Amino acid sequence: MNQFPYITDYVNDVFAREKTRWDFIFLRPLIVFGYFFQRSVGFPLKFLLHRRPFGFEAYLIDWWMTWGLKHLATHDAAELFMRHVQIEPLLYRHILGPHPVDPAAAARRLNGIDGDFGIETIDVALNNRMTIGHDLLSYELVERFDRQRFLERLAEIRASRPEPHEQFSKAVLEENRKHSWQLLGPTNIVLLIVTTITFFGDLQTTITALNSFGSDSILLWCMKQLYAGDARAQTDLDFFMQETGNRGHYNNSAFFSNPSQYLYYHIVFDEVCYDMLTARPPGAVATQGNRGETAALGS
């Protein structure tokens, strides 16, 4: 069993169980190969024939996504995916700091950083276009984030914690328990998500989805600011430093994106940040450090 020290126990356990599954051993290489072949053929065709949305792409993406969540995903995969959909906007709310929320924005389902991310049924995810809405969160954070405002409110943000993701309904997981054939683990589900977006999406939507990592750069910078002086946290965060392909501050070619990064560097990264901020908030760490310094001076 491989236990990576810089990620959470929950994610370590999920990955350890997955690596013994037949689909991870035999099916994953085929999906990865098929994805890169599809991309090399599909993007030129999209450039010529499908550069702008026709209007049905988001529905087709979410129809296939929700069908797979209900019938194909293991419970581990479904739970990890639902947690991510709910944890990511809470992290973004946290680093934006306290801010006025428009009631209309708060009422939006599965869209917008300040929206409602309760997922009671598969139909809620399908009818509210969960997949594309999730990808657009990254761009919303880039537009709304203000470096100077964050630094001015650093102490206030350090003293707070992200909202609990338990406030959002995960009743949709009951549909997975009842109907899923338990065929695909987290890695293959994420690979199929990327494949589905690439297959059904128009060129604009596909490139937008495959480049939705700017928010990771901002979140990493914020985490390193919040935990400045905490060597343990800094060491863990260094393992999530940006990769060159599709992981920086600019729009890179989607031809060179790695579909596995969605799971190992995006979903896992959010899990690590959320766990650090809730289980070991920087305000408490700073207080303990100050007490230690005071005790040392007193001795």
Per-residue pLDDT of 264-286, as tens digits, reads 889 999 999 999 999 999 976 65
Rounded mean pLDDT, 198-204: 93
As a whole number, the mean pLDDT across the chain is 90
The Cα 283–Cα 252 span in angstroms is 36
Q: Domain locations in the chain?
A: 9-284
Q: What CA–CA distances, in Å, run from 290 to 22, 125, 158, 223, 286?
A: 51, 46, 14, 20, 6
The Cα 289–Cα 274 span in angstroms is 21
- Please, what sign has the CA dihedral across residues 226, 232, 236, 239? positive
With a cut of 70, say whether residue 175 has pLDDT above it.
yes
pTM check: above 0.85: yes
Q: At what angle do helices 214-226 and 130-144 cross, to 10 degrees?
A: 50
Percentage of the chain beyond pLDDT 70 is 89
According to the model, what pLDDT value does residue 3 have? 85
Scanning the structure block, which residue is given the tokens 């009422």?
A: 107
According to the model, what pLDDT value does residue 243 have? 64
Per-residue pLDDT of 92-151, as tens digits, reads 999 999 999 999 999 999 999 999 999 999 999 999 999 999 999 999 999 999 999 999
Strand partners, 185: none
184 or 36, higher pLDDT:
184
According to the model, what pLDDT value does residue 261 have? 77
Q: List the Cα angle 257/248/250 in 5-degree steps.
A: 90
The Cα 223–Cα 209 span in angstroms is 24
According to the model, what pLDDT value does residue 264 have? 85
According to the model, what pLDDT value does residue 285 have? 66
The Cα 280–Cα 199 span in angstroms is 41
With a cut of 80, say whether residue 251 has pLDDT above it.
no
The Cα 90–Cα 161 span in angstroms is 10
Tell me the pLDDT band of 253, cut-offs 50, 70 and 90: low
Scanning the structure block, which residue is given the tokens 């959470």?
A: 8
The Cα 250–Cα 41 span in angstroms is 24
Rounded mean pLDDT, 191-202: 93
According to the model, what pLDDT value does residue 130 have? 97
CA dihedral of residues 266, 268, 273, 277 (deg, nearest 10) = 150
Rounded mean pLDDT, 185-201: 94
Alpha helices in the chain (DSSP H): 9-18, 22, 28-49, 57-71, 75-96, 103-107, 122-127, 130-144, 147-152, 154-158, 172-179, 186-200, 203-210, 214-226, 231-238, 261, 268-279, 282-298
Residue type, 99: H
Rounded mean pLDDT, 193-207: 92
With a cut of 90, say whether residue 297 has pLDDT above it.
no
Q: Are 92 and 113 in contact (CB under 8 A)?
A: yes
With a cut of 90, say whether residue 256 has pLDDT above it.
no
